[in-house]
Structure 1
Amino acid sequence: MKQMNAEIIAVGTELLLGQIANTNAQWISEQLAINGINVFYHGVVGDNLTRVKDMFEIAGERSDVVIVTGGLGPTDDDLTREAFQFISGLKMIEHKPSMDYIEAYFNKINSIMTPNNRKQARVFEGATVINNTVGMAPGMIIHYNDTTWVFLPGVPREMKSMMLDGVLPYLNKTFKQDEVIKSYVLRFIGIGESQLEHELKEIINKQQNPTIAPLAQNNGVVIRLTAKAKSEESAFQLLNQARDTILAIVGNYYYGTNEETLEQVIISKLKDKQLMIASAESLTGGKFIEKLISVPGASEVTRGSIVCYDTSVKRDVLKISDEMLQSKGTISSECALEMSKNVATLLNASIGISFTGLAGPEPLEGKPVGTVYISVYIKNTKHIVQKFEFSGTRDGIRHRAVLKGYEILLNLLK
């Protein structure tokens, strides 16, 4: 059977202005890949009739399936229907069930429906209508000139509901594929994208199926593995073989798969070892503990944090000695170590982690901006203090400090 190739078009000037991110295209691509449909093009076009029409004409010539999000609302700048009617000549009609649903919504909220809301119920004659159970405008599926067109609202929760309930079942029934596409993500910390790619250069150069794609992210580096096969079982066998080959080379930096986060892994390891953690945070201002307690179940292993930004808080609350503060300063390995030890003692934790340093804007205590000390103290076992020189913006330095703290902690817990 012929492989179906899809294209995704997002309509909306707000996307071009950067006011919102085009997360719809990413999510739809993932769903289509799971169902064995290739996505060859992503497009974004503003609310302009001529440009939307031009993009539709190009898409219709090169793609088997075109999925359009946005431009189905009630206002004058919602032009998706009009642009497609221009190129297709298809008649539009009011879809009574959708109109009844819209009117019932306004009655329910005791509000007067303005006349332009009737526009949302307009569909192309002969289209397969997809009911919108979480919004107003219905979706449509239309087969025109050997291309299947799917029109969906741009609101993500509406689009996702209609894709899952209406579009994907339709595509699977109409274009049953011979292959499935499966993928997953391997996550790494403590190694840069260029170094990871260098270490894996030989297998990346030989890649065919699965494909191997390294990608830098804010919280480390990921490798996306994607495999095509006749069945899910065969696809995952290919993925697992590739994963094992990769981890045999760079497994020391690996921490999780797919949506697994560093903080989730840390929580899991703390639970396994029955350890409690507390943090003392100066320049990070609570960012470390905030990420940790965002994980459900964090209360089982997390005592809390002392945010000791001011020197007086380090002295009076965290009980850092005056002698050390005067002789070594707050931005020092000695201060970092005492912070991690004291917070573990004060909050009755097995592990104390501390962050002290300088994120800017000016040098302090003779230290340049970006100087950071991180200490991890494991009660009655070991302690470690490391110094770093980070570059970047104030927020960037603070983010990198937190990330490095998680990396150090993960390596100790391994």
Structure 2
Amino acid sequence: MQAQIIAVGSELLTPARLDTNSLFLTERLGRRGVDVVRKVVVGDDEARIAREVRRAREEARLVIVTGGLGPTLDDLSRDGVAEALGKPLIEHPEILEWIAERFARHGRKMTDNNRRQALILEGAEILANPNGTAPGQYYRDEAGIVILLPGPPRELRPMFLNECEPRLDLLPSPLRYYTASLRIAGMGESDVDQRIGPIYSAEPRAVTTILAAPGEIQLHVRGQAATEEEARAIADAVAEKVAAELGDRVYTRVNEPIEQVIGDLLRSRGLQLGLAESCTGGLLAEKITEIPGSSDYFAGGFVSYSERAKIEWLGVSAATIAEYGAVSEECAREMAERARDHAGGAGKAVGVSVTGFAGPEGGTEAAPVGTIFIGLADGGETVVRKLSLGKERDRNRELSARSALDLLRRRLLGL
């Protein structure tokens, strides 16, 4: 079955709001063999909503409309869908009573405009909404299914899980889908595709998507078959061949972030992590602490942005900075070693450092903007990696942090 999603809301056409509901719906529908072939955002206009619903019904058996079910005059999804279907809206007395009782429980009186939320398409089933005042609606005829869902994710998600999925599970579906995911570090998108193209193109029952993100590549292999078990076997077989081809560049097969992988490695080895950051300004520490429980292995870090901070707070030799500069292999080495020492010392901790010219200004002839040094010190030899990036500040900081994480991962694995 094919589906289309229509997200309603003029705010979604501005920078103020993003449509995240369609991402959730696409993932949940995919598990049930429903292929989302189009997503559309439309403003709060009854005629436009009706036009999009009519067009979607011509192309897909399932149409999901999100948002626009509130009580205000610009909540027009009910009206637009009713116009598209040629069905009247009927005030549902039980819904009206339920809304009034909900207001009463909160010590408030229902206003007249809330009556709009009790308007139900003739012939539609009501989808309960315990988290808000806007019920959803499920309409089915010979042309297919139209589902109306509220816009707030805290209302939409449980409604779809509890009200829609049981109904969709009763529908016949010729295909089921399963997606296997891999994350790859230290390679570009074109390099990855050149290596694995012959693998995924040889399996017509799988659709492979390659997504480039700063410092990593995400690979999603979606298998399709009559059962979910068969679909999983297809996707896993392709993913296994890809992992064998790319080797240690694949850092996870369960779609977990690299920070989680590193945390598990540090914890299993009983090591503490210390950081010394300059141009990344604490970004690396932020990424590490995004993982719950990171206090088990993250001792702390220094944002030693100035030369004075590197010398007085961190303990880098003033002579090193005077001779080589703050952006140098030598400084990165000492920063990593001091971070390690503060975190517990050799054999007990790992220190990682980042120093460089993030841009867009600064730099020297010997070390232009985009020159980054990443240091790593543990119980063995201290290593320093040099990056030569561009002049885009935010991208340089992100790539520096991602490269530092991958260097740490590889060192912990003995690569």
TM tier, shorter chain?
Answer: over 0.9
Is the aligned partner of 1:59 residue 2:42?
Answer: no
Partner Cα separation in structure 1 for residue 17 and residue 291 of structure 2: 26
How is 1:261-272 mapped onto 2 (pairs within 5 angstroms)?
261-272=257-268
SS, match of residue 403 in structure 2: helix
Partner Cα separation in structure 1 for residue 2 and residue 368 of structure 2: 54
Shift of 1:408: 0.8
Partner of 2:19: 22
Distance verdict in 2 for CA 1:396–1:193, change over 3 Å? same
CA contact (8 A) 1:331 1:365 kept: no
CA contact (8 A) 2:29 2:36 kept: yes
Partner of 1:107: 104
Partner Cα separation in structure 2 for residue 128 and residue 258 of structure 1: 38
Partner Cα separation in structure 2 for residue 237 and residue 90 of structure 1: 45
Shift of 1:111: 3.5
Partner Cα separation in structure 2 for residue 97 and residue 401 of structure 1: 59
Partner Cα separation in structure 1 for residue 71 and residue 392 of structure 2: 43
Structure 1: which amino acid aligns with 2:383?
A: I
Which whole-Å deviations, capped at 9, do the CAs of 1:355-400 have from their partners, x for residues lacking one? 1111123224553221111000012x12110111222422221111
Partner of 1:284: 280
Partner of 2:176: 180
Is the aligned partner of 1:198 residue 2:197?
Answer: no
Partner of 1:355: 354
CA contact (8 A) 1:72 1:152 kept: yes
Partner Cα separation in structure 2 for residue 218 and residue 386 of structure 1: 18
Q: Which has the higher mean CA deviation after the structures are superposed, 99-108 or 320-329?
A: 99-108
Partner Cα separation in structure 1 for residue 147 and residue 194 of structure 2: 42
CA contact (8 A) 2:272 2:343 kept: no
Partner of 2:376: 376
Shift of 1:104: 3.0
Is the aligned partner of 1:34 residue 2:4?
Answer: no
Which whole-Å deviations, capped at 9, do the CAs of 1:169-190 have from their partners, x for residues lacking one? 11111x1324311112111111
Structure 2: which amino acid aligns with 1:15?
A: L
Shift of 1:51: 1.4
Q: Pick from 150, 155, 167: which aligns with 1:153?
A: 150
Partner Cα separation in structure 2 for residue 312 and residue 162 of structure 1: 56
Partner of 1:9: 6
Partner Cα separation in structure 2 for residue 72 and residue 164 of structure 1: 18
Partner Cα separation in structure 2 for residue 53 and residue 401 of structure 1: 48
Is the aligned partner of 1:389 residue 2:388?
Answer: yes
TM (norm. structure 1) is 0.94
CA contact (8 A) 1:329 1:365 kept: no
Shift of 1:256: 1.2
Structure 1: which amino acid aligns with 2:275?
A: S
Which whole-Å deviations, capped at 9, do the CAs of 1:222-249 have from their partners, x for residues lacking one? 1111111222222222122111111121
Partner Cα separation in structure 2 for residue 99 and residue 389 of structure 1: 64
Structure 2: which amino acid aligns with 1:161?
A: P
Partner Cα separation in structure 1 for residue 401 and residue 156 of structure 2: 35
Partner Cα separation in structure 2 for residue 216 and residue 180 of structure 1: 27
Partner Cα separation in structure 2 for residue 361 and residue 236 of structure 1: 46
Structure 2: which amino acid aligns with 1:107?
A: A
SS, match of residue 382 in structure 2: strand
Partner Cα separation in structure 1 for residue 149 and residue 329 of structure 2: 57
Partner Cα separation in structure 1 for residue 215 and residue 362 of structure 2: 27
Structure 1: which amino acid aligns with 2:37?
A: F
Partner Cα separation in structure 2 for residue 104 and residue 324 of structure 1: 73
Distance verdict in 2 for CA 1:355–1:211, change over 3 Å? same
Partner Cα separation in structure 1 for residue 316 and residue 354 of structure 2: 14
Which whole-Å deviations, capped at 9, do the CAs of 1:335-370 have from their partners, x for residues lacking one? 010011111112315110001111123224553221
Q: Which has the higher mean CA deviation after the structures are superposed, 137-146 or 89-98?
A: 89-98
Is the aligned partner of 1:131 residue 2:128?
Answer: yes
CA contact (8 A) 1:98 1:131 kept: no
Partner Cα separation in structure 2 for residue 399 and residue 104 of structure 1: 51
Structure 2: which amino acid aligns with 1:218?
A: P
Task: For structure 2, list consecutive stretches of 5 or more residues without a partner in the other structure.
Answer: none
Structure 2: which amino acid aligns with 1:102?
A: I
SS, match of residue 285 in structure 1: coil
CA contact (8 A) 2:369 2:391 kept: no
Q: Pick from 155, 163, 171: which aligns with 1:166?
A: 163
Task: For structure 1, list consecutive stretches of 5 or more residues without a partner in the other structure.
Answer: none
Partner of 1:243: 239
Q: Pick from 91, 95, 101: which aligns with 2:92?
A: 95
Aligned residues: 409
SS, match of residue 368 in structure 1: coil
Alignment RMSD (CA, Å): 1.7
Shift of 1:19: 2.6
Distance verdict in 2 for CA 1:167–1:347, change over 3 Å? same
Which whole-Å deviations, capped at 9, do the CAs of 1:181-237 have from their partners, x for residues lacking one? 111211111111111011112223333112222111235111111111222222222
Q: Pick from 204, 209, 214: which aligns with 1:218?
A: 214
Partner Cα separation in structure 2 for residue 297 and residue 86 of structure 1: 52
CA contact (8 A) 1:214 1:223 kept: yes
CA contact (8 A) 1:88 1:144 kept: no
